[in-house]
Copies of this chain bind each other. A is one copy, B any other.
């Protein structure tokens, strides 16, 4: 499956998605605001974009909703426009105030944010009505159906705020917390941040809570990277150095505040209008965001300090939203199935539909969720760094110059390289592709043994087989080779995930044929070729069209929880609903793992 590149203007935001993705979904995955109220069903006609480069069919929905002039100018409904090649399109500013939005994996989310702005005209105090300022406000909010708890700082400014505005004010509530009292009617101006704190990358989306759309999005490397690439090495720092947790906290908050400044500037939004942040991330990232000691996460039996959806004042963390704003963490299921996975489950609606689905977030720690509205199981599999290019001879992260796709055909080696730069190495998706293709053309056996030239006389690619430092290898391009050891590393990594998947399927008593869909999450999941994933046995043998990349599901789940307190409450409820299956305690784990190291027998792809 080919990846295509699309540019959204005027933001000049670029993304790469699997061929066939709609312009609407591709934009959603990167948090771009395209208007919609129907949830991408082609019925509201609001998601129109003007195609500047690339070819799209004119769909029946386009004909229903767009004028002849618009069609001639290249306008399409984004929710129906499938990307068949690279493209560029222009996205209009949000026009109306949609009271619902499509988010997550085509989820239709009603706009019911936890942040409420309530315009009030309070009765002026008299000698007969000497209620205190906060009681006056509370009584009126109570009449409107809102409870309120006065936080200290809001209270400090309340007397002046009420009197300067002549008791005509807008109360800002985060849940029951009174965050601010603004003069006049500002009910229409309300923003929040959906934050995805990844070990590698942090993504902040500024969401317009009045409209439900994204106003701006920014991402950056997690500033904690110098403390270690993965969660275990970062936790390690906190074990030897008591100040490390606080330092790691400051570091990631610096990253976050940088992103906030960026999205505020780009959307022209004031910090004081941003009242809440919802955070998804793995359990370690959430511990470090709060400066809560994470060290017990890294040692058996792997215990987090907390899993619950904590709600803390932004000020206590130094996070630069409204000074009285709140930071709401999503809950975790366990030490290695964190709030990122909870958000992902929420984004996919996995627990809300009757069809059985498998959700896999492939990475150093692979997280696996299997379930439906009936029952949900989850587990974590320690895959190791191979999927991120670690321990691979020519491995690298998915950056410019990385081979991210490999096609081996009659005598030719076709490479897809990120950024049209000279090849510098191979990243996870390229590795999976390369191994799958080698299997297909008969240069790799089911046990994972690379052929030697002598084994395959006359094979059109036999000349690519080489020996590097005494081990067999396949030459992709120049110095860039795939060694026998690299294949073994990949086998171990995929076996860890596959064993986890098998354990969950066993526990639920289902087979591959029962799976309605296999969802690959995370930025890495987006780039994996589903066919290749199946060929190497990373995912169960289901028809390839049932294997779907769902993009940054964690970030999407955070957005859903931000714009909808109902979605949030459902997310809060997930840890209770999801049964965690601990793999490391299972007596049959090692045997199952060794079996899963082999590749499946080849079968014709549909």
Contact = CB atoms under 8 A, between A and B. Distances in A.
A12 interface: no
A177 B129 CA distance: 35
Contacts of A157: 293
Given A156-B290, A291-B156, A303-B125, A296 B130 contact: no
B301 A126 contact: yes
A133 B131 CA distance: 43
A127 interface: yes
Interface in A302-319: 302-308, 310, 312, 316
A244 to B, nearest CB: 13
A334 interface: yes
Given A156-B245, A301-B125, A132 B293 contact: no
A159 B580 contact: no
Given A127-B584, A582-B127, A133 B304 contact: yes
B290 A132 contact: no
A478 interface: no
A293 B158 contact: yes
Contacts of A155: 290, 292, 305-306, 310
Contacts of A580: 130
B303 A133 contact: yes
Interface in A134-162: 134-135, 150, 152, 155-160
Contact of A305 (B133, B300, B307): B133
A163 interface: yes
Interface in A151-179: 152, 155-160, 163
A520 B296 CA distance: 60
A132 B306 contact: yes
A167 to B, nearest CB: 11
A293 B134 CA distance: 12
Interface string A306-336: 1110101000100000000000000000110
A130 B303 contact: yes
Contacts of A584: 127
B305 A159 contact: yes
A479 interface: no
Contact of A130 (B135, B150, B295, B334): B334
Contacts of A310: 150, 152, 155
Given A127-B582, A157-B293, A152 B312 contact: yes
Interface in A268-305: 290-296, 300-305
A458 interface: no
Contact of A159 (B130, B131, B290, B292): B292
Contact of A306 (B150, B245, B308): B150
Contact of A303 (B132, B294, B305, B316): B132
Nearest to A584: B127
A288 B406 CA distance: 70
B133 A296 contact: yes
A582 B312 CA distance: 41
Contacts of A128: 582, 585
A246 to B, nearest CB: 9
Contacts of A245: 156
Interface in A566-606: 580, 582, 584-585
A325 to B, nearest CB: 15
A430 to B, nearest CB: 36
A354 B16 CA distance: 80
B156 A296 contact: no
B301 A159 contact: no
Nearest to A297: B159
A107 to B, nearest CB: 28
Nearest to A134: B306
Interface centre among A159, A293, A580 (most CB of B within 10 A): A159
A161 B307 CA distance: 18
A372 B9 CA distance: 75
B306 A152 contact: no
A305 B181 CA distance: 13
Interface string A329-364: 000001100000000000000000000000000000
A283 to B, nearest CB: 9
A155 B302 CA distance: 17
A583 to B, nearest CB: 10
Nearest to A304: B132
Contacts of A160: 293, 295
A578 to B, nearest CB: 13
Interface string A436-471: 000000000000000000000000000000000000
A140 B300 CA distance: 22
Interface centre among A290, A296, A582 (most CB of B within 10 A): A296
24 contacts: A125-B301, A127-B302, A127-B585, A128-B582, A128-B585, A130-B335, A132-B306, A132-B307, A132-B308, A133-B296, A133-B303, A134-B306, A150-B306, A152-B310, A155-B292, A155-B310, A156-B290, A156-B291, A156-B293, A158-B305, A159-B293, A159-B303, A160-B295, A163-B296
Given A132-B305, A134-B308, A155-B292, 8 more contacts: A130-B302, A130-B334, A130-B582, A132-B304, A133-B303, A155-B306, A159-B296, A160-B293
Interface of A: 125-135, 150, 152, 155-160, 163, 245, 290-296, 300-308, 310, 312, 316, 334-335, 580, 582, 584-585
